[in-house]
Amino acid sequence: MSARVTNISQGWAWKERDASIASVLDEVSPTASEQWMKAAAFPSEVHVELLKAGRIPDPFIGFNEHEVQWIGETEWLYRTTFDVHETERRWKNAELVFEGLDTICDVYLNGKKILYADNMFRTWRASLSPENLQDQGNVLFLHFKSAQKLAKELEATHGRVRAGSCNLGDPSRVYVRKAQYNWRWDWGPELMTCGPYRAISLVTYTARIDAANTRALVSAAPALSPSLKVDLVVAGDASAVRGAKIVLGRLDGSVIREEEVSLGGGAGLKDVIGWDLEGKVELWWPVGYGSQTLYNVEISLLGEGGGLTASQGEAVLDTLTRRVGFRTVSLIQEPLEEPDRYGKGTTFLFEVNGVRMFMGGSNWIPAHNFLTALSADDYRAWLTLLRDGNQNMVRLWGGGVYEPDVFYDICDELGVLVWQDFQFACGVYPAYDSFVQSVRAEVEDNVKRLRHHPSIAIFCGNNEGASSSSPHASLCAHVRPDYQMVLQWGGIDALPARVLYEEVFPAVVAEHCDPPIPYHRGSPYGGKGWDTADPTMGDVHQWNIWGGKEWPWQEYPFNGGRFVSEFGIPSFPDVKTVDYWLGGNTKDRWAQSKMMAQHDRAGSHERRFAIVMNENFRLTDDLETHIYNTQLMQSEAISLAYRSWRREWRGKGKQYTAGVLVWQMNDCWPVISWAIADFFLRAKPAYYTIARELRPISVGLFRTFYEFGAFRSVSANIEVWGANATLSARDVRLELSFVDLYSGWEDSKTVEATLLPNQTTEIASMRVPGPPAENANSVDTSYSVVVGARLVDAASGEILARYADWPQPFRLVDFPDPGLDVKVEGEKVHVKVQKPVKGLLFTADEEGEDALGRRETVRWSDNAIDVFPGDPQVVEVRGLAGKRVKVRAAYMGCERGRVVYGQ
């Protein structure tokens, strides 16, 4: 008979620990206290339970975050009862499996302590003996203690360290293996979660599959021959195992190959099968390069009674199914053939199935402060939004969590590559023995859980907190300083976590990953002397723009690197999201109010916003106009970075920039942040401009000019290039339009070109024309000229890409009325203009959303668009269903209201 897995998901209740009762076990009985509450759902998190029970206000509204701080300082109890089926009593082995306990928890079964858990990221197993279990009424009791208090106790023992700033949580957080963002971050609240946040099950067995490494192997290019090998680790009575049956099948259930094999004794079994699958399976490809073909590998553990044919049910001791894809992935760091503006250095690029690919994507933080509020549908909606935005990589940041299996399953299906940080962020972490042991087990659990996913492209040791040597260090000669944060701080004379990033983690990844998965010590990491700001090696986080040195966003083209894994500009979210957190408060409905500050967590945000907004936009006291301006600012800045850095993917030997990942894709609550889509899945303008920059074929334009005084150019020049992510050359026609904003003057030029495959191609360089000058001594008249570029397929005439370059700064532009013509026909919006229009943003009426995860339902195929005369555009809309369409654009100059179309 097969191993039996029983989910313990029913009958759960919870309560606050009563400090007046000496023994926690005296609180187990439901009659011992009238405070036990039925859990609204399981898995469970205490804030969600309290919220649903009406005992706390919504922490995401107003100042309510401050009203719930007591929860993190409190101890919490969970209990349930379960029966044991008579067949389960006959097995030799039984264990309780806890897939996620948040975080410090004593576990009792029938009054006996069976487990102490102190790591949120581990899968915990408690082996049970026959006397532990009863036929009926087994009481499972969980006592959660304050992770916040434990962190301070450990800090008192081991010492206070540097860990980010006051906006990145209390430094004591580094001592507890709990999601670091729970202590607050510069985009999130301080909400110390607690509870059994992932599944709990009872497993009974004679022997079971403890681990299976389904090694979907592919030989090196150009052969790319697929094969499959399987390694097994058996738990329980290995002597009861006679063999295994391995079945490789398609997702529709059809079988490609199957085999029964005899197994010798012992728990660890290497190369149980080795199949050549040439011509029998297809490769898995990232989105845009081929299909995401997946297969099921089903493993049955066979015992006595039925022979190796497994024709009798009692012969199957355990089964396990893994979904795999066949692909290779490599991180290529090789010398460049020629230097760029930064020097020569080395590449930092990903190669999949022998194809070098430019990575365009974003960073991911947990999509909710309360993880149990997220469903599989939520993850699919987020990742589909990411994929539909032409992104092919997501970086799971090191201060959150290792996401549940469904997250990676969806990435496999969508073809989105995953950069997986281990969960360390912005701090000097300890490395005393028990801490290292716990972390090693955590990393082993998650590497073994994730390694079979074809979407996993890299494991990374940490975020902004790993070891390196640097000329900036003020450290002892024998100590190499931490990566980014420590370089900034200086004065750190010991970095114990180097043993994790440089020894433990790479050893675990190497031991458990075959085919191999690249490992990178930290993000950022690399550079001359391991200087993490060195743009010629490794990856960089570019925060001198917006943060750091507060350079203008227009400096992005000159401040890239080999792989920019973090950078960003913040903005307000949709006004509907702002109104949600205002909770009906009209007094604070202005940009710099107390309640806005409550939902704007980053240090110096007001000062930094003031600098960049004053430099580029006209001041306004209208909230919706201010929101739009911050979003336009974010959109213009981020798209410039993607466009100019993607330009540096110049072909073999000159792949100077191989990836751009914006900070950040998403939010964990309603907030002003760097996210390109807010908490309610409402995409900001930046999402759409990034999507345009990451299309398979895009066009870029850069205007260089010399200004004196204000808004007057002595001369101006444009450079135009095309980016082609496909693996075939494309003949195109570049169509340039020049339109003066202040007169009726127009001009146009056409250039024929061939876009080389998998790189950028420079197409044109020319002086920007302008209307006739009044006299020979006049300044260049191109200062008021908007330049529009279109790439058109030379054969079919299909419009492949658009881009418009506008005079800047925008505060000095007198935008003319464009003669906007908008028509809504079903789920299509038709737009044409008489004069160029900037940043045309469509929104639709939506009902309010709640804090537990309802999502925006209207989806635009494109948005925040620039429209030129003679070039009408059509935007498709899903979910419009008769809703009114509203439009805002930079041309209006009005401080109130928006133009409304539709009923």
Catalytic amino acids?
Answer: 464
User: Which two three-digit tokens encode residue 243?
Assistant: 């063999």
Question: Which residues, other chains included, contact 223 with Cβ-Cβ below 8 Å and sequence gap of 6+?
Answer: none
DSSP state of 463: B
Q: Is 373 helix (H, G, I), strand (E, B) or coil?
A: helix
Q: Is 448 helix (H, G, I), strand (E, B) or coil?
A: helix
Residue 314 zone, left/alpha/beta (φ > 0; ψ -120 to 50; rest): alpha
Q: Which amino acid is at 888?
A: R
DSSP state of 347: -
Cβ 705 vs Cβ 717: under 8 Å: yes
Task: Please tell me the distance from the alpha carbon of residue 54 to that of residue 33, in angstroms, as a whole number.
Answer: 19
Q: Is 511 helix (H, G, I), strand (E, B) or coil?
A: helix
Taking Cα atoms as reference points, which of 147, 540, 209 lies closest to residue 348?
540
Taking Cα atoms as reference points, which of 348, 325, 354 lies closest to residue 336?
348
Q: Enumerate the H helices of 337-478 as residue ranges.
A: 376-388, 405-414, 433-450
Task: Please tell me the distance from the alpha carbon of residue 702 to that of residue 77, in angstroms, as a whole number.
Answer: 60
Q: How far is CA 415 from the centre of its chain?
A: 14
Task: Please tell me the distance from the alpha carbon of residue 228 to that of residue 214, in angstroms, as a whole number.
Answer: 7
Task: Please tell me the distance from the alpha carbon of residue 238 to that of residue 210, in angstroms, as a whole number.
Answer: 11
Q: Phi first, then psi: what are they for 377, rounded to 5°?
A: -65, -35
Taking Cα atoms as reference points, which of 281, 356, 262, 329 lies closest to residue 727?
356
Q: What is the DSSP string of 289-344?
A: SS-B--EEEEEEEEETTSTTTT-SGGGEEEEEEEEE-B--EEEE--B-SS-BTTBS
Q: Phi first, then psi: what are they for 600, rounded to 5°?
A: -145, 90
Q: Which amino acid is at 56?
A: I
